Amino acid sequence: MSENGVATNGEAEFETEDEALQVLLDADIDKVMAGLDRIVEAAPSYEKLFMRWQRQHWSTEDFDFTTDIEQWNDPELMSPEEKKFMLFGFSQFFLGEERVTVELLPFAIAAPTHEAKAFLTTQISDEAKHMVFFDRFYREVLGMKAADIGAQLEAQRVNVNKDWETLFDGILHDCAERLRLDPTDFPALVRGVTVYMIVIEGTLALTGARFIVKAMKQREWLPGFTAGFTAVNRDESRHVGFGVKFLADAIKDDPANAQIVQDTLKECLPIAPLVFAPEWVDDPYSFQTPFYHSSEVFEYAMKSLSKKLAAMGLDPAMLAGDPA
Ligand SMILES: [Fe+2]
Ligand SMILES: [Fe+2]
């Protein structure tokens, strides 16, 4: 950890914007993800995360979708099964970005310091940008021309599964509501950050993104989308970095917060992995997709979660047993 400007491990490797971008554009997605993990594990301060946000701006208009449009409309290239599965994955992200944009507002109000508030306002703008990026992709590449973002989201609602609804409309919304009603409720903020930054972003989104980007790169599919989605995930690693830092500090200040994290994980973990399963599979715990088998995704997600827990000073073994 570094508060004094002397960077440690992951921090040192990304001192300049060019270096960070180079890592992101690396052909090997696992190298990219390892680089992002190192940023999170270095637990940068809120100020450093804010500075990084200032240096890492990008625009939803930066990406050229010409090849993406040709490929999406080429039946020789993509089968209906492949497109159906991709639409499921893309929609879970698109609708998820809208939910996390809106639900983050009470978190920013409840954040205990101005440094944390300042960072969370950057994250709100990031999440809005991610939603707008997906909206552009749906319009220009997938050819879905709804009247506005609201109508676009409504039209894609059929593609998300019930477990996505339980997690986003149920648990995440409840976290945000509790903070909205009482911004001084610190235990509610600990629960909310665990759900939002550790489960949704750190475990599900970064895992789903890794498998999507890997599949697209292997096939050289949707290069405009892949470049934009990579920029999205660089933002996500900053967001997860905030969550790890916030929870590590909360646990140091009061060990009772570790129990809140553990209880929240117990609440989410029966549902969270099912977010990866399309409604049409027979067994949501074991299924084949056109791109990978579910077991690879579940294994990767659990490893991701374990790394985040270790980075916040908790024993990942807590996921296996019930020491309480
Ligand atoms: Fe996002
Ligand atoms: Fe995010």
Mean pLDDT, residues 53-74: 94
Which of 35, 41, 28 is closest to 13 using CA atoms? 35
- DSSP 8-state assignment for residue 238: H
Ligand 1 ion local residues (Cβ < 5 A): 97, 127, 130
- The CA-CA-CA angle for residues 261, 266, 272, to 5°, reads 105
Q: Which residue has the tokens 């879905």?
A: 144
Q: Which residue has the higher pLDDT, 134 or 5?
A: 134
Cα distances (angstroms) measured from residue 147 to each of 144, 155, 159, 238, 254: 10, 11, 19, 32, 49
| Residue 183: pLDDT over 60 | yes
- DSSP 8-state assignment for residue 196: I
Report whether 240 contacts 206 (CB < 8 A).
yes
Mean pLDDT, residues 171-189: 98
Q: What secondary structure does DSSP assign to 128-177, as a single string?
A: HHHHHHHHHHHHHTS----SSHHHHHHHHGGGS-HHHHIIIIIIIHHHHH
- DSSP 8-state assignment for residue 283: -
pLDDT tens-place string over residues 150-160: 999 999 999 99
Share of the chain above pLDDT 70, in %: 89
Confidence of residue 27 (pLDDT cuts 50, 70, 90): low
Task: Please list the residues that pair with 288 across neighbouring strands.
Answer: 293
| Domains recognised in the chain with CATH numbers | 9-314 (1.10.620.20)
- Give 211 Cα–ligand 2 centroid separation in angstroms: 17
User: What phi and psi, each to the nearest 5 degrees, are found at residue 48?
Assistant: -65, -40
Q: What was the pLDDT predicted at 25?
A: 56
- Give 242 Cα–ligand 1 centroid separation in angstroms: 13
- Which ligand approaches the C-alpha of residue 197 most closely? 2
pLDDT tens-place string over residues 270-293: 999 999 999 999 999 999 999 999
- Give 275 Cα–ligand 1 centroid separation in angstroms: 16
**pTM (predicted TM-score):** 0.90
Q: What was the pLDDT predicted at 59?
A: 93
